């Protein structure tokens, strides 16, 4: 089959790889009908996440049709012909964390749990296409995908309706929704969101749906800001204004009650000098990421407010404003998204028209153009915000 494979930093290729097979009674094989490029995949392409191996198949946002089912998966209600989305994490449904719906930290699905514990102090769930740290599982930017723990991992969706209506339930829509829910938005809250990429746009949309008084979208890409404005946000072009000063000046000097960092590990700025300093530090391994947006969110947030962090971080950051965080009494909410906790509710909201589930979509391309589209997404070319690949 064809698949997008990692062959080194900034070296992705569409290659022929072996078809997946059933390896465990809990497995299923999915014929992928649509798959996506995620901003988190750019971190793999750019070398910010350790543990990638030559030939690893990328991708953690696929959907499609079940074409083969292991006996245990079938016994639990999964059948050939089912149409499903595949959340980016696999879940056992039985461990302590799954019982609490903390699916992204399932205790059984990461077959490299010992490695994750050395890196993070405890294990995450197994993730598709996302390095040895999360299990070295093949990803879904391919024609077919083996899904371990299939019956508890996949989400069945209606047999009718275009893929584009449902595919973002694999990751970015629940991620934006969880970011807003974790902010505990109240009717009088001002919510500031750093980043109007796919997750940021859904965080903005979700904050508005959840009833925030005011939502401020922060970015410097005109196409992204235009989409944020379309769903009702105030837009702030960070290339034109001082973000911290603007937020203080327009919130009685205190800052927004809720701040969401939807940027993560590869943030830019806030000035050319500071960006150069960050790049030098990452180049010399003095830090592993550029936490510009996270620093701004913490510094901007009103005392006793909440900072929600859906942006991906992988290692160590310098100049972290721990003093501001502690002395202002901020609540920090973080984590990979517990996708299946939210999918039933989000499916209902999509059907009722509360949520525009195709909001960030800009490009639909064949799988073979995947490497080219990664570069367009990374460089924000042609208004590229969210890419769906069709095998």
The predicted-structure confidence for 169-208, as pLDDT tens digits, reads as follows 999 999 999 999 999 999 999 999 999 999 999 999 999 9
Q: Please tell me the distance from the alpha carbon of residue 46 to that of residue 288, in angstroms, as a whole number.
A: 12
Rg of the chain taking only CA atoms, in angstroms: 20
Residue from 178, 225, 170, 174 nearest 197 by CA: 225
Q: Check residue 181 and give left, alpha or beta (phi > 0: left; psi -120 to 50: alpha).
A: alpha
Residue from 198, 170, 139, 141 nearest 380 by CA: 198
When pLDDT is averaged across residues 86-108 and rounded to a whole number, the result is: 98
Q: Which of 277-281, 283-287, 288-292, 379-383 has the highest mean pLDDT?
A: 379-383
Q: Model confidence over 344-361: pLDDT tens digits?
A: 999 999 999 999 999 999
pLDDT band at residue 273 using 50, 70 and 90 as cut-offs: low
pLDDT score, position 285:
73
pLDDT score, position 279:
81
pLDDT score, position 272:
73
Q: Any idea what DSSP says for residue 301?
A: S
Percent above pLDDT 90 for the chain: 90
Residue from 213, 211, 239 nearest 225 by CA: 239
Q: What residues have CB less than 8 Å from 95, skipping those under 6 apart?
A: 106, 107, 108
Residue from 21, 166, 6, 174 nearest 88 by CA: 174
Q: Work out the end-to-end distance of the chain between its first and last CA atoms, rounded to an integer number of angstroms.
A: 10
Across all residues in the chain, what is the average pLDDT?
Answer: 96
Q: Which helix (H) or strand (E) holds 236?
A: strand 234-237
Q: Please, are residues 282 and 288 in contact by the beta-carbon 8 Å criterion?
A: yes
């Amino acid at each position: 089959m064809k698949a997008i494979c990692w062959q080194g930093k900034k070296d992705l290729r569409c290659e022929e790889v072996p078809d997946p097979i059933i390896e465990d009674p809990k497995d299923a094989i999915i014929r992928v009908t649509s798959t996506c490029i995620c901003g988190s995949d750019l971190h793999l392409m750019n070398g910010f996440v350790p543990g990638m191996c030559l030939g690893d198949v990328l991708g953690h946002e696929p959907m499609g049709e079940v074409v083969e089912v292991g006996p245990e998966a079938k016994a639990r209600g999964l059948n050939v012909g089912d149409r499903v989305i595949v959340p980016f994490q696999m879940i056992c449904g039985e461990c302590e964390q799954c019982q609490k719906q903390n699916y992204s930290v399932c205790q059984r699905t990461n077959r490299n749990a010992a490695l994750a514990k050395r890196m993070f102090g405890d294990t995450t769930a197994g993730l598709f296409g996302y390095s040895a740290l999360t299990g070295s599982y093949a990803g879904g930017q391919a024609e077919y995908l083996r899904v371990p723990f299939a019956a508890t991992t996949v989400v069945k969706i209606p047999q009718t309706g275009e893929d584009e209506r449902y595919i973002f339930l694999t990751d970015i829509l629940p991620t934006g929704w969880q970011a807003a829910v974790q902010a505990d938005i109240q009717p009088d809250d001002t919510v500031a969101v750093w980043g109007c990429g796919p997750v940021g746009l859904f965080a903005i949309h979700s904050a508005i749906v959840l009833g925030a008084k005011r939502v401020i979208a922060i970015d410097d890409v005109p196409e992204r800001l235009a989409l944020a404005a379309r769903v009702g946000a105030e837009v702030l072009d960070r290339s034109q204004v001082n973000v911290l000063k603007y937020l203080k000046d327009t919130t009685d000097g205190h800052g927004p009650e809720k701040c969401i960092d939807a940027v993560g590990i590869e943030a830019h700025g806030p000035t050319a000098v500071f960006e150069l300093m960050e790049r030098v530090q990452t180049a010399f391994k003095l830090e592993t990421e550029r936490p510009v947006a996270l620093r701004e969110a913490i510094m901007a947030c009103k005392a006793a407010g909440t900072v929600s962090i859906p942006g991906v971080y992988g290692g160590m950051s310098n100049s972290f404003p721990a003093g501001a965080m502690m002395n202002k009494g901020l609540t920090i909410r973080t984590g990979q998204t517990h996708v299946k906790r939210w999918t039933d509710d989000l499916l209902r909201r999509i059907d009722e028209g509360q949520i525009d589930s195709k909001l960030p979509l800009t490009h639909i391309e064949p799988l073979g153009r995947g490497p080219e589209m990664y570069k367009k997404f990374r460089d924000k070319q042609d208004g590229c915000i969210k890419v769906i690949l069709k095998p």
